[in-house]
Structure 1
Amino acid sequence: MREPSAYGFARASWEINLGCKFACKHCYLGLKEFAGLAWDDKVRLLEIMRDAGVLWLQITGGEPTIDKHFPDAYRYAASLGMMLTVSTNASRLWETSLLAMFEECPAYRLVVSVYGATEASFDGLTQRRGSWKTFQRGMAAAREARLPVRLNIVVTEDSAHEIDAMAAMAEDWGLRHHIYTNMTPTIYGGPESLLAQSSKHLRERTPFAGCNAGHTFFHADPHAKVSICKVGRDDQIDLMAEGLEGLRRLPGVADKLMLRTGGCSGCQLSGSCLVCRPLAKQFQEARAPLQNYCQHGQLRKETVNA
């Protein structure tokens, strides 16, 4: 039994590192430098998450499974009573040590990204020769072990012609899948990830209706710098310096970041904007087309089509 927390954060995500063996063209992380906390600080971070009330934890990266502390961190989080989701490219799911770990401490879900249905398109998007083969090897092992895998099918210019083939692959494997088409700028506001986007397959966004980021959810980067989410990384709180009490400031940070400022201040359509303010800021910094994120872009599109 876990004691109730006065902080009210039920969910969190944690980039255990930013390192990855792939160099995907669409990756929102931009520079993927391998860096993170020492083991003792990882333990402290997880204990702060527990004390904050976190029951659902997503461990991500980069590629989390290449972190030398990943198995121990995963097991320790599980021992603290957390239900765990791991976001991975499946390139190491064939390793016996990882398979044994997932058998000993079952994950709630493994979310695996799919970058193509053929070796050419998969390796083309990841910009790493052999990535298709390691993906297939990992997926074969995961299916044999009956791991709780869900697939994220990533549609880019490299793989758009294989949407049906990727969906068919998921169905043949008997796995649930989600088709992901809308790319975002990098966390630094860079446009390079948008260049991989297939403009023909952009999904119509629904108006942003609010979220609990910073109130019941938070995100921790590899250095335990906490933000309201993966997108809104301004005004981060250093948990290694401030400890658990630092999280009391996060709701105020969230409310501040959600205000319509900069290019959105005074906009009469902001109440029905297609994205949250932190994401709109990234699109603006990347000088992305309005139709990617703004109601004005939708109006312009409708006018052109009329």
Structure 2
Amino acid sequence: MRHELIIAPFLQDHWILRPGSSAGLKIPAHRYLELRDAAAHDTMPAWLPDVVRRRWGIDVGDRRPRDILLVRGPSPYGHGRASYEVNNGCNWACPHCVYGDKVHEGLAWEPRERLLHLLRDAGIVWIELGGGECTIDTHFPETYALAYDLGMMVEIQTNGSTLHRPAMLDLLTSRRPYRVTLSVYGATAETFDGFTQRRGAFDKFMRGLVAAHEAGLPLSLSVIITRENAHETDAMRALAHRYASRVREYAHMSPTFAGGAEPLAQQAPEYLQNRTPFTGCDAGHTSLNVNPFGMASVCKVSRDHPIPLLKEGLAGLARLGALADRALQRQNACASCALQKKCTTCMPLVKLYRRAESPLDRYCQHA
């Protein structure tokens, strides 16, 4: 029987989490210890059924704790979130993609299995599986299932093209993700297929979106506004709000992670809005990114000096914090800039824009 609740330390706190729900319940440390003992001795704490009923509307009063609770142990490594690029290959060819040449390659199952256990032991509770298009990876079903079974709250980033398949729906409804995020590239087949450079892409997207919605999966939709689809912006917004309560918009295209300028040509200038100042982030300290070969980096953008997790093990993660601090330090002309406190772009992203020889107005207020 699969767990109904995850009891997990998360950074300095302790939480009760429910797979398939983004809502959690923070509990004091002594309650965490009580639940850990309850699972070990199969005795239900008197307070738990009422708390769970009020938070999620489920009844666990007559259930055995060992059947419904998965208790995560504490980790000394201090990480709580990770993004894992399962495979950078993709079945679409969107010109704004930050991955550039999307080569279909990644880890075989045995090293991938070891990698997921390492992430669990590092303290990762929230994990994002992406790519590329992660769902077309040969080992995606096992990867997703193991991350779930290890007690991680799983999000998948997908183009939706496989979500209508019965096997995929069975996987995601029997082991529910806390979020499924899809991108909207157009409101008509002509625009959507043209942008993805794949005939039939819109039909597959809509079939997947409708199937996931009907299955009650927690959907999040990203409306991607570019020069090729900006004329359908209102229609894309309407489509997104029809199927998801969580909708975000993105118009600022970034260079590829290798510093390629190709995505910048997709900018729709009239939709570029002022962004909020960058005031720092937890990247490298409590969160990290892992590429398809098990190389850990500060984040998706800051990939310098990656750490080979499968070779060094968790001890290698001790270097990430210092790497992050160095990566975020303002460099060259940015170091003496009077507008630093109002800057909206982190230094690793600035370096990508510079490498791509981007126009200054795409990332710098001095433009």
1:16-27 map, 5 Å = 16-27=86-97
- 2:107, 2:271 → 1: CA distance? 39
Of 170, 178, 184, the match for 1:100: 170
Over 3 Å counting, the alpha-carbon distance change for 1:13 and 1:174 in structure 2 is closer
Which 10-residue stretch deviates more, 286-295 or 50-59?
286-295
Which 10-residue stretch deviates more, 138-147 or 262-271?
262-271
Give yes or no for the alignment of 1:187 onto 2:239: no
RMSD after superposition: 1.1
Residue type at the aligned position of 2:131: G
The alpha-carbon deviation at position 144 of structure 1 amounts to 1.6
- 1:91, 1:19 → 2: CA distance? 14
Residue type at the aligned position of 1:52: A
3-state SS, counterpart of residue 57 of structure 1: strand
Q: Could you say which residue in structure 2 is the equivalent of 1:28?
A: 98
Of 105, 111, 126, the match for 1:56: 126
Give yes or no for the alignment of 1:239 onto 2:309: yes
Q: What TM-score results when the alignment is normalised by the length of structure 2?
A: 0.79
- 1:15, 1:51 → 2: CA distance? 19
3-state SS, counterpart of residue 177 of structure 1: strand
3-state SS, counterpart of residue 150 of structure 1: strand
Q: Could you say which residue in structure 2 is the equivalent of 1:47?
A: 117
Residue type at the aligned position of 2:143: A
> How much identity, in percent, do the aligned residues show?
47
Residue type at the aligned position of 1:103: T
Q: Could you say which residue in structure 2 is the equivalent of 1:275?
A: 345
Q: Which runs of 5+ in 2 are unaligned?
A: 1-70
The alpha-carbon deviation at position 296 of structure 1 amounts to 1.1
- 2:83, 2:273 → 1: CA distance? 25
* Count of aligned residue pairs for this structure pair: 297
Q: Could you say which residue in structure 2 is the equivalent of 1:115?
A: 185
- 1:259, 1:170 → 2: CA distance? 38
Q: Which runs of 5+ in 1 are unaligned?
A: 298-306
Give yes or no for the alignment of 1:286 onto 2:286: no
Q: Which structure has the greater CA radius of gyration?
A: 2
- 1:127, 1:71 → 2: CA distance? 27
- 1:172, 1:214 → 2: CA distance? 36
The alpha-carbon deviation at position 115 of structure 1 amounts to 0.4
Q: Could you say which residue in structure 2 is the equivalent of 1:304?
A: none
- 1:91, 1:165 → 2: CA distance? 20
- 1:286, 1:270 → 2: CA distance? 22
Of 233, 247, 258, the match for 1:177: 247
On the 8 A contact 2:220/2:244 being kept in 1, the answer is: no
- 1:175, 1:206 → 2: CA distance? 23
The alpha-carbon deviation at position 271 of structure 1 amounts to 3.5
Residue type at the aligned position of 2:152: M
Residue type at the aligned position of 2:247: H
- 1:295, 1:116 → 2: CA distance? 30
Of 285, 292, 299, the match for 1:229: 299
Which 10-residue stretch deviates more, 15-24 or 176-185?
176-185
Residue type at the aligned position of 2:106: G
Residue type at the aligned position of 1:142: A
3-state SS, counterpart of residue 222 of structure 2: strand
On the 8 A contact 2:93/2:198 being kept in 1, the answer is: yes
Give yes or no for the alignment of 1:72 onto 2:142: yes
3-state SS, counterpart of residue 60 of structure 1: strand
